[in-house]
Chain A
Amino acid sequence: MLKFNKPMKNKDDIQKEIEELSPFLKKMKKEKEGFEVPANYFRQLPDLIMDRIQEEEAQSDSSAPTTNWLDQIIERIQILLQPQYAMALASTAILIVASLFLFQQDPSLAGESTLAEVSDEEINAYVMSKAEEFELDLLIDVIDEKALEEEIENEPSYDENYLDNIIDDLSDKELEELM
């Protein structure tokens, strides 16, 4: 075991000190303390340590970013400011802002697009199946006003001749029953 190249005075002082404090421990002091190391341990230790340092450096090189976080953010912003990306980015931003503006003005529009996708037949079938559950006013609202107007227009006019013709077509018996 190596000792420091101590000035003799210091070494003598230490020996003298332990002699005075405890002659018993002075006698116990031996060159060999009982501890051993594997063969060639100290010959190989520097290489072992250098290998570990190189491993750690390689790991930190591969995991660490090449630039700091601020540089990385600036780099990404610069990419987005290139014309081809800037145009796409600006269009997307305009669309998002316009959509938000429209939906905020008329919230019902948000649901209308979904309703438009349902066919008339499907709506009619649904209304007919649920007719009993709907209130009259709601059903009236559902009827297409234009179609109703057309139907009325095509109806035969209830003039006197028309009634006369119907009456003419009825038998005497049928006429009695109706009256």
Chain B
Amino acid sequence: METPLTNISDDHILGLLNQSNTFEKGFRVLMQKYQEKLYWHIRRMVMDHEDANDVIQNCFIKVYKSIHRFERKSKLYTWLYRIATNEAITHLNKQKKKATASIDDEESGISHRLEADTYFDGDEAQLQLQRALDTLPDKQKLVFNLRYFDEMSYKEMAEVLDTSVGALKASYHHAVKKIEQYIRAL
């Protein structure tokens, strides 16, 4: 019986990646194990599928090129999250520059983007939550997503975001309060 991908250990994947004859196999296993988690993490940041698809591909290409530099100082998945987060933030910054240059601000608005996205079929409550999240600064939104949706421990979040546990706790608490206030005010 085949081992489920989620049960394949990171040590085993890194062992495959360590040898040239098993490198591609190891990289495919790594993608299969983490692609969904990283995709949803990116999707929550960039919102629409087409953008998330571009970012996840760029993210894995970066991983492919730099996996030999992974020194096991952190867990593999926090290292992967870090790359995915950087890629998503880079994408959002580019998007913001485009939106600043664009005359039509309506087009870059979250409601418009989600309505235009074929791959969003959320209900009104989910749309409200996304609107509320869109009012947060990027870093605070990231903290909220990692804790609320990905259910990551503060210690792991600290590794991904290179921020202290105390600062992350404070940021998450603020984000929760802001979101609740925003939705209640609607």
B55 interfacial by beta-carbon distance below 8 Å: no
Q: Do A56 and B61 touch (CB < 8 A)? A: yes
Q: Do A49 and B153 touch (CB < 8 A)? A: no
A49 with B32: in contact, given A38-B49, A38-B119 (CB under 8 Å)? Answer: no
**Which A residues between 115 and 139 are near B, CB-CB below 8 angstroms?**
none
* Residues on the B chain within 8 Å of A30, using CB: 126
A25 with B148: in contact, given A36-B121, A45-B31 (CB under 8 Å)? Answer: yes
Q: Do B127 and A34 touch (CB < 8 A)? A: yes
Q: Do B57 and A14 touch (CB < 8 A)? A: no
Q: Do B61 and A37 touch (CB < 8 A)? A: no
**Which B residues between 88 and 143 are near A, CB-CB below 8 angstroms?**
119-123, 125-127, 129-130
Q: For chain A, which range describes its interface: under 10, 10 to 19, 20 to 34, or 35 or more residues?
A: 20 to 34
Q: Do B148 and A34 touch (CB < 8 A)? A: no
Q: Do A24 and B184 touch (CB < 8 A)? A: yes
A18 with B176: in contact, given A25-B148, A46-B31 (CB under 8 Å)? Answer: yes
A49 with B31: in contact, given A2-B6, A21-B173 (CB under 8 Å)? Answer: yes
* Residues on the A chain within 8 Å of B152, using CB: 4
B149 interfacial by beta-carbon distance below 8 Å: yes
The residue that A18 contacts in the complex, of B123, B129, B148, B184, with Cβ under 8 A, is: B148
* Residues on the B chain within 8 Å of A38, using CB: 49, 119
A52 with B40: in contact, given A33-B149, A35-B119 (CB under 8 Å)? Answer: no
A42 with B150: in contact, given A22-B177, A35-B122 (CB under 8 Å)? Answer: no
The complex places the Cα of A28 from the Cα of B36 at a distance, in Å, of: 22
The complex places the Cα of A3 from the Cα of B28 at a distance, in Å, of: 20
A142 interfacial by beta-carbon distance below 8 Å: no
A36 with B31: in contact, given A14-B151, A18-B148 (CB under 8 Å)? Answer: no
A5 interfacial by beta-carbon distance below 8 Å: yes
Q: Do A46 and B28 touch (CB < 8 A)? A: yes
Secondary structure of the B side of the interface?
helix
* Residues on the B chain within 8 Å of A33, using CB: 44, 122, 126, 149
A29 interfacial by beta-carbon distance below 8 Å: yes
A14 with B147: in contact, given A5-B6, A48-B57, A52-B57 (CB under 8 Å)? Answer: yes
* Residues on the B chain within 8 Å of A147, using CB: none
A6 interfacial by beta-carbon distance below 8 Å: yes
B179 interfacial by beta-carbon distance below 8 Å: yes
Residue of chain A at shortest CB distance from B47: A35
Q: Do B184 and A1 touch (CB < 8 A)? A: no
Question: How many whole Å from B112's CB to the nearest CB in chain A?
Answer: 16
Q: List 23 A-B contacts (CB under 8 A).
A: A1-B40, A3-B151, A4-B150, A4-B151, A4-B152, A14-B147, A18-B148, A21-B173, A22-B176, A22-B180, A24-B180, A25-B180, A28-B183, A33-B122, A34-B121, A34-B127, A37-B49, A38-B119, A42-B35, A49-B64, A50-B24, A50-B27, A53-B61
